[in-house]
Structure 1
Amino acid sequence: MKTTLENKIEKLKKNGYDISVNKIITDGFLAWKNTIFYGIFCVIFTYIFNNLIYNLLSNYLGTNLIDLELAKAISSLNNDSQSLQKLISLFQDYIHNPQIIIKTLLSSLIGLLLYPLSAGVVYCAYLADKKGNTSFKHFISGYQGTKFIKLIGLVFIQIILISISMLLLFIPALYIIPAFILAGSFIIIDDAPIIQAIKYSFIIVNRKFGKIFLILMISFFISKFLGFLMCIIGLIFTLSFSQAIVYSIYKNTVGSIDVDDEINEN
């Protein structure tokens, strides 16, 4: 028996869909307003967690002295062309240090554990839109049952593909990142399997790749660039706009197809 999501995707493939950039941005702002508390919590908790892990790994691996030497070397540089070359050389030596490589890999792997929080913001936007309310339980639902394994697996696959794209000057990443954009939503909202979630995301994005790419660029500008303009602290408020846009894309594509769906409140 086909799931509701499968029926929606088949209907979308048969009839196609159209999206309005203005409507998605407008719906994104509404979703952002409805989930601002969870978005702020996600940003602050992520910052504290990553710094804690970074400091713990620095102490454990003994890289504090290496970090200190780099900071001193940078502070002693002058503002000239030779200093720029020295700065590049310093960073190259730093990132190729075996201890730094290990610390970076470990901190990145541990950082994967935070992805379900971002997915939780999307799920809260979904419930707030459909039911008018949500809770902290829904926010952390990505850590419950098989959703946690699937979300971690999804982001791990993305990291591998994006890392491979580094060999090709990140050009493949310009397609990979948008193509994966709805996969997390299909997992956190519809509890879809990883491969199915990725497949459905590709199907939807490929039909309107240009518009979705443009929407993601606008989202990046609002969530990152405007946050920096607001004395950086504004990032606490603006970063979660990217999750709100993800839900808005979901809402205006597969979420707009009526097949008598029922809200799944895990």
Structure 2
Amino acid sequence: MSEFNEFDQQGSAPNRETGSIISHAFEMYKGVLGYAVVAMIVYMLGGYIIQLIFGIDSASMVEEMRESGGNFNYWSTPGLPLYMGASSLFGLLLSPLYVGLIYIVNKYNTKNPIEFSDLFIGYRQNFVNILIYSLLTWLISSVALALCVLPIIFVYPLLLIGYPILLFENASAIDALSKSFNIAKENYGTFLATGLLGVLISFAGIFLCGIGLILTAPFIMIVMYSTYCAYLGKPRQIMFKQP
């Protein structure tokens, strides 16, 4: 069975304040930007291929939504239900990539050499729990969105550090969800402000003709890592050992 071997390394951790956490995340992000861009390119290419398979033109669909005046019927669009299902499945299968990016950030923070294969560590370590956790958070977020946009704003901070817990503590999906919820509940104001600011920065790329999302979207994953460091301490660098 695979396992992690841990050892202490140098590195930084922010204070338990939103400004300190976001500042720390920026410093980390500058060091791993190339890997973050690769992760986003993989995600966007996959989404584009799925669109081609199901004959969906997202640009045309957005234009139709604008012209419909709010009366656009998603489910009457040919191929859209299957496309939405395939996109959701694709997003779920890519969730270990997010964990890999967090792993790379920790290697950068602890001044350890980074390898390209590190981006895929989530597919080798705790893979099933990462998928289960991603599915659970997707369900929770979907219910929150169905109740209107506002609930997801208040629910999201409770899920903020689940992925780092899955990686650094090799936790089960339920344990990661429970621990993230409990820590965020006790420090909700900071988690809410940090999560909102992290999401806003991540979506800032929309204003750069959309392509800027490749640069900004992964930032929220770095915010998760920095928040974990602030509240649970800088994790010791973990090295994956083959069976």
Letter in 2 for 1:116: P
Corresponding position of 2:229: 251
Number of matched residues?
Answer: 225
Do the aligned residues in 2 keep the contact of 1:124 with 1:139 (CA within 8 Å)?
yes
Corresponding position of 2:217: 239
Letter in 2 for 1:253: Y
CA 1:165–1:228 in 2, change beyond 3 Å: closer, same or farther?
Answer: closer
In 1, Cα distance between equivalents of 2:78 and 2:40? 30
Percent identity between matched residues is 23
Mapping 1:34-49, distance limit 5 Å: 34-49=31-46
Corresponding position of 2:112: 132
Letter in 1 for 2:123: Y
Higher helix content, 1 or 2:
1
Corresponding position of 1:162: 141
TM-score for the superposition, normalised by structure 2: 0.82
Secondary structure of 2:113 counterpart: coil
Secondary structure of 1:232 counterpart: coil
In 1, Cα distance between equivalents of 2:142 and 2:100? 25
In 1, Cα distance between equivalents of 2:130 and 2:216? 23
Letter in 2 for 1:100: L
CA 1:177–1:102 in 2, change beyond 3 Å: closer, same or farther?
Answer: same
TM-score for the superposition, normalised by structure 1: 0.75
CA 1:29–1:53 in 2, change beyond 3 Å: closer, same or farther?
Answer: same
In 1, Cα distance between equivalents of 2:23 and 2:236? 25
Deviations 1:196-215 (A, max 9, x none): 11111112111211111111
Secondary structure of 2:237 counterpart: coil
Do the aligned residues in 1 keep the contact of 2:36 with 2:101 (CA within 8 Å)?
yes
Letter in 1 for 2:104: C
Which consecutive residues of structure 2, in runs of 5 or more, have no partner in the other structure? 1-14
Deviations 1:29-77 (A, max 9, x none): 111012111100011111001111221133xxxxx6xx69x949x68x9
Corresponding position of 1:120: 100
Letter in 1 for 2:185: N
* 1:88 counterpart = 2:88: no
Corresponding position of 2:167: 188
In 1, Cα distance between equivalents of 2:144 and 2:210? 29
Corresponding position of 2:29: 32
> Which has the higher Rg, Structure 1 or Structure 2?
1
* 1:204 counterpart = 2:183: yes
CA 1:38–1:180 in 2, change beyond 3 Å: closer, same or farther?
Answer: same
Secondary structure of 1:114 counterpart: helix
Secondary structure of 2:239 counterpart: coil
Root-mean-square deviation over aligned CA pairs:
2.6
CA 1:98–1:228 in 2, change beyond 3 Å: closer, same or farther?
Answer: closer
Letter in 1 for 2:70: I
- Out of 24-33 and 213-222, give the one that drifted further: 213-222
